[in-house]
Amino acid sequence: MKKILISMRVTESESYHEVRNSIAFEYINFFESLGYLVILIPNNSSNIDKYIDNNVIMIVLSGGNNVSPTLYNSNEKLLDVYSERDTCEQKLTEISLQKNIKLLGICRGFQFLNVYFGGCLVHNIHNHISCDHSLISSLPYLNEQTSNSYHGQGISPSCLSEDLTTLAKSEDGYIEAFKHKSKSILGVQWHPERQQKSYDLELIQNFIKG
């Protein structure tokens, strides 16, 4: 059975005084509905390479947490930043590039990939948290569609890595989807697993099969 590896967010339980790896149920439901076996990658693992075999067809960098501003030379002070998460997703990105495994970034994962390839992030974006907005895209099945939005940081055109090309924007000009110019890498700012619209399925299935 073909596998999809998914990174997890870091959460802290005050009642148990624990730092935890966690993920929303929707990720598992969504990717299992596409017919794949989901494997979760813990942020604190020292054996990430061991998760890779010939059945892995895609790696997903999930949402949650903030990308450390130090990775894009910003002095912005952000909460919910964990070096373990950044290190894990850097390793997963490197594995994807080395082994030519497809790589999908969702929300934070979308932002992390832009930073990994030399881009930056815009902070404190208004009207992009817990709301829906329209997409503007040259792809007919994305253009004028409505997507969810749960992010306070984002990517403006001037912050986009030169290695990436825009697939969709919001009406106020922020990048909502991109692909790498030469690698099998796709990023979306919204959460497809939370809405499961037909265009999400088309976009991701085309990416996996392409």
pLDDT in tens, the chain (210 residues): 999 999 999 999 878 789 999 999 999 999 999 999 999 999 999 999 999 999 999 999 999 999 999 999 999 999 999 999 999 999 999 999 999 999 999 999 999 999 999 999 999 898 888 889 999 999 999 999 999 999 989 999 999 999 999 999 999 999 999 999 999 999 999 999 999 899 999 999 999 998
Using a 10 angstrom Cβ sphere, with 0-12 exposed, 13-18 middle and 19 or more buried, the burial of residue 124 is exposed
Cα 128 from Cα 121, distance rounded (Å): 14
Q: What whole-number distance in Å separates Cα of residue 39 and Cα of residue 29?
A: 12
Residue 85 · residue 40 · CB < 8 Å:
no
For the chain, domain boundaries? 3-209
Q: Which CATH class is domain 3-209?
A: alpha beta
